[in-house]
Structure 1
Amino acid sequence: MSKKTTYLFGIFLTIIIGTLFYCYLCDNCHCFPSGEATTEDTNTVVLEPEVIPATRNAFAISDADGDFNIKINDNFNFKTSNYSILEPLSTEVTSGVSKLKDYLLANPLKDIDITGYYRNDETNDSAYPNLGLARANAVKNYLIAQGIPSKQIDTRGQLNDGINPNDANTLFGPLKFGIITLEEGATDDALVAACDAIKKNPLVLNFNTGQAQINLTAEQRQKIADISKCVDKLGVKVQVVGHTDNTGNADNNMALGQGRADFAKTYLVRNGILGENIEAMSKGQTQPVADNNTEEGRTTNRRTVITIN
């Protein structure tokens, strides 16, 4: 090899080595074709989905003014967007309820206060203003069935997005319990006023007999909540009266009105008002409140009126 050739080869080799070294140090030079590996390893970070553990509230009740205190790791459980208690209840919960009953019966000036929780992303298909109140009323009815007087049970609902279901959409104990001590002879003026308002301005529903669901406004939901509380605290009864327009036979309309009243009663029972406290009857076409000669009037007359007495 001549000196000239050796000299040229050295220059060529220097260029190659320099180019490779430059590409190695440069991050954005695109020296290598797409898809070919470089000498630098690339680390890809894969983020695992966040796992939110299910909330599990204990069945805990204590009396700050007495000696009652229980805490049970199980509780009343519900499916999301539902207000029916999941069965079966644990033996620990039923035993706790029995102790609560004995305590309340021995202390008639004490009430059990039940707050039902609900999430903002749940669907409320109950007749109550919110799903938490519906859950609290479901527990109330269970307590009544176990012998606890309805007058000694208070219910309320509260938004709580901190309660998390499990993968099967079960909420474990979306509730809070407390004991309230009342003053002897005290009256709930707000409740009395709400019950008087129902008597003066009953709940009126317009729907077709046999439809699967009654769509309620926020005002109507509140009226049902008030009616339920009036029944529990004051011992009043619910009266459900079905009415029709004058189209067709009077006897058939009487039966049609009864069907509407029975449907509304079933709806109320399903939403936590005990059937023994509800009287369903029909007035048929005998008590119109609008002109039956117009379609608008007939629609108004096809109604179910719910009140207390």
Structure 2
Amino acid sequence: MKTLLITRPMPEPVVVRARESFDVTVRQSNLPLRDNDLRHALREYDLIMPTLGDAFDKHVFADVATPRCKLLANFGVGYNHIDVEAATAVGVGVTNTPGAVTDATADIAMTLMLMSARRAGEGERLVRSGQWQGWHPTQMLGLHMSGKHVGIVGMGRIGQAIAQRCFFGFGMKVSYFNRSPRPMEFEAQRFESLTGLAAEVDFLVAAVPGGAETHHLIGAEVFAAMPSHARFINISRGDVVDESALIAALQEQLIGGAGLDVYEFEPKVPEALRTLENVTLLPHLGTAALEVRTSMGMMAVANLEAFDQGRALPNAV
């Protein structure tokens, strides 16, 4: 029976299923693996189920050139914390869990859009402070979302799920920025220029994967192009955004607000962001529903089982 390290506590059904096929060790810390722990894991286990923050980069693989581990079955769709090329070079496969996260992440995008537009976080803070003096006609006027124009940066599974919710649920006009056109069941305009898209929309939503190609894709030039009432939403990866440029845009009120579920140096959130009233901040809740996290874990275990049985990996990256 192969040994398996699960790097974080998981929903119980995931662990139960994994134990049916593997000799499982579940690490009881919710912090990412660091330095020697990363190297130890590659040397001591046949299989690993890592997740966000477990930085299996090229330096780790350089130090462990002949790893015992032969598969990193990532828990999550994003895998920019794993250097896939370096892993492949030393004989380690990598899988992920696409599909399982699509609807939950799209739902969080809509949550952030509504919270930012209707100033929900600011309003809740007012009520909790005990300083709310009651309703009046001009109290905390925000932006009506129905019928507005949304621009989606990245039209993969999650981007398309967001677009569907915006179009069918809120009657919004949909535009997007993507390397190639996407066939949609409703009219959606593709922009060749990211700044061109930013200039036209009421909501700009980042839904691209992380990695070198998208690092700081959205920065000062994009925020400068946005209308002053527009909201920026990020449910992708924190380093897709130049966080300092976003802070400046919010402080100078170049944009109407922002809604963030991810951060450039997560879990560190700059004090400048935390003190601003025109930004909604969530603690990476994109897939934080029990059934979704269980489904992700089951998909990761299915990848491990396929590897163990010599079958094609369902979700190889």
TM-score, with length taken from structure 1: 0.23
Instruction: Give the structure with the larger strand fraction.
Output: 1
